Amino acid sequence: MTTRDGSALTRRLDRILKGHAWFVYLFFYLPILVLIVFSFNESRFFTWEALSLRWYRQMFANDNLMAALWASLQVAAVSTVISTALGTAAALALERYKRFLGKRTFDALLYLPVIIPDVTMAAMLLVFFTSLGRQLSITTIVLSHIAFNISFVSIVVRARLANLDPALEEAAADLYAGRWQAFRKITLPLIMPGVLGGALLALTLSLDDVVITQFVKGPDTLPTFVFGLIKRGVTPEINAVSTLMLTASVVLVLGSLALQRRN
């Protein structure tokens, strides 16, 4: 930025911007910090009593909650793997092949799940499964999560592919690499950060989703279970679960940043 005009006014404006930025960071982090602090409080109320792991013990002893956590992990793992594979293939098709049957329709179809509101998607999947006569179960949750995750994965991978130099793949072909060999040795390693980024996004979205899961669920996932608890009222046990979920998110973000840096 220009420092040529180092007038008092500019400096004051900069100070205001700085103050504003600190205020926004406070806004971002104060609620989270309050949750974490009170999850370690002995008291049931929001007045500090003593440091305690009481609510964490209670959380791990809650069988329903542990079952929901396990269901969440299963749904997230399966839907992430499948949607990453499908979404990556879709991204390759759209970025690397000039035309194929129905390409434009496919392109539009791939965007829709991103912009459609959660409640509409939830409603239509519920109606769909019921009109097929399908019993709602963990399988219907997984199928629904894949349906919204394919699009997010493909967008992330496409962004990476668009920035790649196709000359690299052409060079491999010139050197008599087979199609599969060129893909495995050149393309795949180059798009790997995009694929991992897409997988991470899919994992996070699957672990976050409340609305769609609420409609198509058989068993509770962790978010729908916690949502039910919250609606019944605030308890320190929810603070403990929340802290656990927060830690998982932060670990995922920092992990992905470390991964990006290495590439």
Give the amino acid at 74: Q
How many residues at the interface with other proteins, by CB under 8 A? Answer: 93
Q: Does 246 help bind other proteins (rule: CB under 8 A)?
A: yes
CB neighbour list of residue 249: distance below 8 Å, 6 or more residues apart? 204
**What residues numbered 160-199 form the site for other proteins, per CB under 8 A?**
none
Cα(55)–Cα(40) distance, integer angstroms: 7
Query: Which residues are 41's β-sheet partners?
Result: 51
CB neighbour list of residue 15: distance below 8 Å, 6 or more residues apart? none
Task: By CB under 8 A, name the one of 26, 49, 111, 185 that touches other proteins.
Answer: 111
Nearer to other proteins, 50 or 258 (CB): 258
| CA-based radius of gyration for the chain | 24
Q: Does 155 help bind other proteins (rule: CB under 8 A)?
A: yes
Q: Does 90 help bind other proteins (rule: CB under 8 A)?
A: yes
- Taking the complex as a whole, the smallest distance from the CB of residue 248 to other proteins amounts, in Å, to 8
φ, ψ (nearest 5 deg) of residue 154: -65, -35
Nearer to other proteins, 40 or 215 (CB): 215
Task: By CB under 8 A, name the one of 50, 51, 63, 102 that touches other proteins.
Answer: 102
Nearer to other proteins, 175 or 261 (CB): 261
Contact 161, 191 (CB under 8 A): yes
**Nearest to 76, CA basis, from 145, 148, 129, 157:** 145
Question: Between 196 and 235, how does the x/- string for binding to other proteins read (CB under 8 A)?
Answer: --------x--xx-xx--xx-------x--xx--xx--x-
**What residues numbered 114-143 form the site for other proteins, per CB under 8 A?**
114-120, 122-128, 130-131, 143
Q: What is the DSSP secondary-structure string of 164-203?
A: S-HHHHHHHHHTT--HHHHIIIIIHHHHHHHHHHHHHHHH
Q: Does 157 help bind other proteins (rule: CB under 8 A)?
A: no
Nearer to other proteins, 54 or 222 (CB): 222
Task: By CB under 8 A, name the one of 11, 12, 57, 103 that touches other proteins.
Answer: 103
Query: Which residues are 20's β-sheet partners?
Result: none
- Taking the complex as a whole, the smallest distance from the CB of residue 195 to other proteins amounts, in Å, to 14
Task: By CB under 8 A, name the one of 101, 167, 175, 258 that touches other proteins.
Answer: 101
Crossing angle (nearest 10°) for helices 138-162 and 63-96: 40
Cα(66)–Cα(5) distance, integer angstroms: 60
**For tokens 């399988």, what's the residue?**
139
**What residues numbered 14-53 form the site for other proteins, per CB under 8 A?**
17-18, 20-21, 24-25, 27-32, 34-35, 38, 45-47
Nearer to other proteins, 63 or 117 (CB): 117
- Taking the complex as a whole, the smallest distance from the CB of residue 119 to other proteins amounts, in Å, to 5
